[in-house]
Amino acid sequence: MSFPKLTVHAHRRAHERYGISFAELKKFSLEIARGEATFIRGRGQKEIWIVTSGDREFPVVWDPRDKTIVTVLPKSALHDLHRQIKRTGRIGDDANGSERQ
């Protein structure tokens, strides 16, 4: 497997919003690439994943084509994603368009 990439923007936002180091963000990219994080939604060019580190969760935008973390979303996005899951009972849809439960 080629090593997943990060954008400069992703590193800046991860550090600014959560104090995440470059090394930790690289670890996140590997977890997403291996399917070890939680897929939330998306198809095509961008997907949203939640990566767990210790007792913290981080909403991450991932480009599956380039295997790149595009950005790390703010905490408010994480709360919105959890509300959506609770309301609908669904996590999202996979690349084939089917619902994940």
pLDDT tens-digit series, residues 31-87: 999 999 999 888 778 999 999 999 999 999 999 998 999 999 999 998 888 887 777
Question: In this predicted structure, what is the pLDDT of residue 98?
Answer: 40
Treating both helix axes as pointing N-terminal to C-terminal, what angle do 22-33 and 8-18 enclose, rounded to 10 degrees?
110
**Tokens linked to 86:** 């609770």
Lowest-confidence region among 9-18, 19-28, 61-70, 82-91: 82-91
Separation CA 47–CA 55 (nearest Å)? 22
pTM: 0.80
Question: In this predicted structure, what is the pLDDT of residue 94?
Answer: 44
Question: In this predicted structure, what is the pLDDT of residue 46?
Answer: 93
